[in-house]
Structure 1
Amino acid sequence: MSKQAILHRMVTDQHICPFGLRSKDLLERQGYEVEDHKLSSRTETDKFKEQHKVKTTPQTFIDDKRIGGYDDLREFFGMDKAGQNGTTYTPVIAIFSIAALMTLAIQFSAQATFISARTLLLFIAVSMVMLALQKLKDLFGFTNSFITYDLLAMRNIRYGYLYPFLEAYAGIGMIAGMSAIWVAPISLFIGSVGAISVYKAVYIDKRELKCACVGGDSQVPLGFVSLSENLFMIGGGLIMMLMQNT
C-alpha cells in the first residue's frame, strides 16, 4: 500500500507558494502519494488557517496527523533545516571555483594552453571582478558591513561606496592587459589598506565579524578569506609591474 499525504498549499493567480511546491516535491521524493489541495484565494487560505488554528501555509497531514509547514516536514523526515544556516564558506568556494574555470577557459582560448605566466594574474583578475559584482548588487548593504572594519572606510564612508568600483576596474584592467601604471597602483592601494584592516580587526582586536567580501548579506566570517582577497590584489599589482618590466 502506497504512503499517503494530504497537502494544503496556496496557489492563486497572484501567488504560488514556493514552500508548498517544496513540500510537494519532498513528499514525492520520500515515496508519498500526495493529495494536493490548492487554496486558490486569500479568503480560502484564511478560512483554512482559522479552521486548523495555524498561522501559515502550506500544511501537510500524514495519517490524519498534522505535520506542519516545510521546515516541520523536513524535521519529520529527519532532515536539517533548509537553506544556509550560520556561517558558511559556500559563496567564496563557488566564486573561486568558477573564477578558476573561467581563467583556464580564457587562457586556453588565447594561447591554446592552460598554464602560462599570465594564468595566475588572470585568476586574480577574474576573482576580483566576480567579488566586486557581489558587492555591487547591494552597495548600501556592503558598505554597512565594510565600514565596521576597514580603516579608511571608517573615516570616509564614501570610500566604501567607491571600493567595489575600484576592485572591478583593477580586475578588468588586468584581464584587458592595460598598462601597469593605470592599474597596479589602485590594486596595490586597496589591497594594502584592506589587508591591514582585516589583520587588525581579526588578529589584533580579536573581533568576530562577517566578511563583506561577497556582499552585505554575507555569512562568511571575516578572516582568512578576506585577507586572501586583499593579498590577491597586492599580488596582482606586483605581477603586473613585473610583467611590464620584462
Structure 2
Amino acid sequence: MRLQKYMAHCGVASRRKCEEMIKQGRVTVNGQVVTQLGVKVDPQKDEVRVDGKAISLEQKQVYILLYKPRGYVTTVKDTHERPTVVSLVGNQPARVYPVGRLDFDTEGVLLLTNDGELANKLMHPRYGVEKEYYAVVDGRPSKSQIQAFIDGIDIGDAIAHAHKVRLLWQKGNSSAFKVVLKEGRNRQIRRMFEAIGCPVKFLRRERLGNLVLGDLKPGQWRYLDEGEVMQLKKLTEAET
C-alpha cells in the first residue's frame, strides 16, 4: 500500500495532506525519514510515524457534524490567530480535520473527521457529492443570469457550474437562492454571483451529501451515527 494512502486510512489526514506531510519530512518508515512519494509500506510489518507518533489502522475513526458559525476558519491552525473550527469540538479521541472549506464569513454544515480516505473522496469532484447552499444576494438576477449558473460562469481561473439553482424570493433589491454544487472550487458561489454583479450578503451550507443541520445551532456539533456514516460512504462508492 502506498504510504500516503496508508496514512489516510489511519486517519492522519486527507491523502493530499498526507502527501504534503511526506514532502515536508514529517514521516518516517522503520526509523528512516521518507520525503519521496510512491513509497510502499506493509501495514503488518512496517512502523510508520508522523511527527514522531506511531500510527496504525486500529485508531478510532471519528465523524463530527458541526454547524460552523461565521467568524471561524476551517483549518486546524491559523497563522493570523483567528478562531478555528477545530476549537469548537474540544478534545476528541483522535485528531480530526475539517473536510473541505467554508470561508470565514460562511456558515453551515461542516464535517470533521480523521477518516482521510473518506475526506479525500468527499472533496473530489469525480464522486459528485452534492453540497446545497442558501444564498442571499444584492440585486435581482435575470432569468438568463440564473440559467448561466447551469451553463457555466467564468470566475477568472475556471468556468464554474452549479448542478441546480432555484430562486426562492425577491424583496426590494435582494434575492435568495438555493444552489446545489457537485464541484467545489474556492469561494465558488460567492465568485459566481460576483461575476453577474450580485454579491452575496449571506451564505449558509445546508447540506453535504446526506448530512443536514437539523436542530443544530451555530457552534453546536454532534457525532454521526453508524447509519449516517454508512450512507455517506455509499455516496462515494461510484464515480459520476
Whose helix fraction is larger, Structure 1's or Structure 2's? 1
Range class of TM-score, shorter chain:
under 0.3
Report which of the two has the higher share of strand: 2
Bigger relative contact order, structure 1 or 2 (CA pairs below 8 A, ≥6 apart)? 2
TM-score, with length taken from structure 2: 0.21
**TM-score (norm: length of structure 1):** 0.21
